[in-house]
Each structure stands twice: as structure tokens, then as C-alpha cells.
Amino acid sequence: MNILITGAKGQIGTELVPFLGRSYPDSQIFSTDIDTLDVTDASKVDQFIGDNSISQVFHLAALLSGVGERSPRKTFDVNLLGSLNILEASRDRGVLQVFIPSSIAVFGRDYPRDNTPNDTVLRPLSMYGVTKVAGEVLHEYYTSRYGLDVRSLRFPGILSSRGKPGGGTTDYAIHMLAQAAQGEPNFVSFLKQGTRLPFLHIDDVLEGIVTFMNAPREHLSRRVYNVTGFSAAPEDFMFAIQKHGNPISVTYEPDFRQAIADQWPRSINDTRARKDWGWRSQLDLEETTLRLLKDFSEDL
């Protein structure tokens, strides 16, 4: 099988490339990024997929919520036109399966912010969220209209040490863990105290993607699923870090990203993913903190 990964140098891609290499040792993996394949260029995307006989795509190239509000037009182009180009080329060139991440940013207004269900009102207020909702609808369209097997997971904040965070609202937690591990005890949080959001450790993300993509099609009652690990606010990360013996104190200087976080779920219900394809997250706040402090201190 020939696999294409776009956005391969991003936060998920950096770790998904070696993970897929281990999961599918007989496959050839084509890792691309903006320097090798610009997803906004429809003819290049089509040519790449055709020339390399790609049969599975992990389309990870995207701008996240924070940078999205700074460059809404570019976010629209990369996130939505990029996905359209991937989907068009995939159906033309006989690709079998496409994975495109979605996000908790699809939620915004008029929905339950605690234990947010899979199926509820999607009224995002950020450009990133707008592109993710439109993307979800587009995936459903390509699946029902053309039979392309497009699958998507709504990721919360992803916590990882190798891949660089891409300008998201949940990234403060990664910065806090990295700083604490490197012995810098004074952290300034761009989200205020009490801002509770859902998170997942990258290892759960990687396992989840592969389990989901391997799930028999007839088991899936949705194309898009909520997934979550645990919910935490900045002070929860601070206490977890202190518990592991790293001194840290946090001051709160909320910026424009606070308004984004205030629209997002405090916790997510992922029962549908658990029932349909066996989704399980393994790592809680404690274990995630422990692993990332260790990773970041080894990076010194």
C-alpha cells in the first residue's frame, strides 16, 4: 500500500510517520510538507497522488486556531481548499481511504459545553472552527456521493514533545510542561485560570488513528467521532507538574486565544467512538504530565 501524509512535519505528522512505518512495514510512506507538496495547488496534489499510486491518505496539513484568527483567509485556503483538493484527487485517482482530522473547534455556540455529545449544534466562532465544520460536511459528501471512505476524529488539545505545536489555543499546556522540564519556574499562561479544556496524549492519538482506520466500514455509524482523554485547566497542569517535583508558578495574562477557548467544550463525550470502533484512551493527566516532563528534560 502507498500512503501519503501531508503536513508530515507538523505536530501529529512528526510522530505519525514513524508510527505508520511500524504499523504497516510493507507499505511505502510518502511524507510531504509545504516544501514538497502545497495542498492548495489542486493540479500538484492530483499529480502527486496519481504518479505515486497512493491508496491511503492522512491529510494533516492545516493551520490551527490561534494562527487561524491571525490569518483567516490563509486558514480557509489551506484547511478547506486543501481538503477539497485532496478529496477530489482521491476520488479521481482511486484512493481507498482518507483520514482528515477535525477538532473540538467545531463547537462554538448553543451546545452543551460539558460532556459534549457527538451529535449536537455546530456553530463555531473561529475561522479554524468554520473550516473544520465545513470539512466534516465535505467528508460526508464525498463518502455518500462518491463512496470514498473518508474518516475523521475531533481531536481536543494534543500533548506531545517531538512534533512542534502549530499555533493552537491548547498549546499553552505544552509550553508549560516544556518550560518546567527545562527548569524555568515562572510560566505566563495565555489562558486564564479555570479554563478547562479536553486533552489527549499523542500516543493515544496515534493508536486511535490506526484503530479507527482499520475498523470495518460497516461498524461506523458516523464519519466523524468525538475522542478525548482528560479535561484540565492551566492550574491542573501546574499542580500535576509540582507533584512530580518540578517547581512552577503560573501567572495569567489571557490574550485573544481566551475568547476561542471560551467557546470550546470543557469536556467531551466519546461514547459513540467507544461503542462503534472500540476507542479507548489510556493516559490521564498524571501519566501524560510524567511522560512529557521526562521527554522534555531529555531534550535538554
Scanning 87-95, 97-105, 184-192, 290-298 for contacts with ligand AKB by CB under 6 A, the matching segment is 97-105
Are 159 and 292 a contacting pair, CB within 8 Å? yes
Q: Give the catalytic positions in this structure.
A: 128
Only one of the segments 14-22, 164-172, 233-241, 282-290 lies at the binding site for ligand AKB (rule: CB under 6 A); that segment is 164-172
Per-residue mark of binding to ligand AKB, 110-149 (x: CB under 6 A): ------------------x---------------------
CA pair distance 97, 116, nearest whole angstrom: 28
Q: How many residues bind ligand AKB (CB under 6 A)?
A: 13
CA distance 65 to 226: 18
What interhelical angle do 202-214 and 13-23 show, nearest 10? Answer: 50
The label of the residue with cell 462554538 reads 108
Min dist CB 129 to ligand AKB, Å, is 9
By C-alpha distance, which of 62, 46, 42 is closest to 54? Answer: 46
Q: How far from each other are the two terminal CA atoms of the chain, in whole angstroms?
A: 38
The residue with cell 470543557 is: 266
Q: Which of 85, 103, 160, 226 binds ligand AKB (CB under 6 A)?
A: 103
Residue 159 in contact with ligand AKB, rule: CB under 6 A: no
Among 143, 170, 179, 288, binds ligand AKB (CB under 6 A): 170
Judged by CB under 6 A, which of 156, 163, 208, 229 binds ligand AKB? 156
Which three cell numbers mark 120? 449536537
231 binds ligand AKB (CB under 6 A): no
Hey, which residues between 39 and 68 contact ligand AKB (CB under 6 A)?
64-65
Closer CB to ligand AKB, 62 or 138, in the complex? 62
3-state secondary structure of 206: helix
Q: Per DSSP, what are the bridge partners of residue 103? A: 155
List interacting residues with ligand AKB (CB under 6 A): 64-65, 103-105, 128, 155-158, 168-170
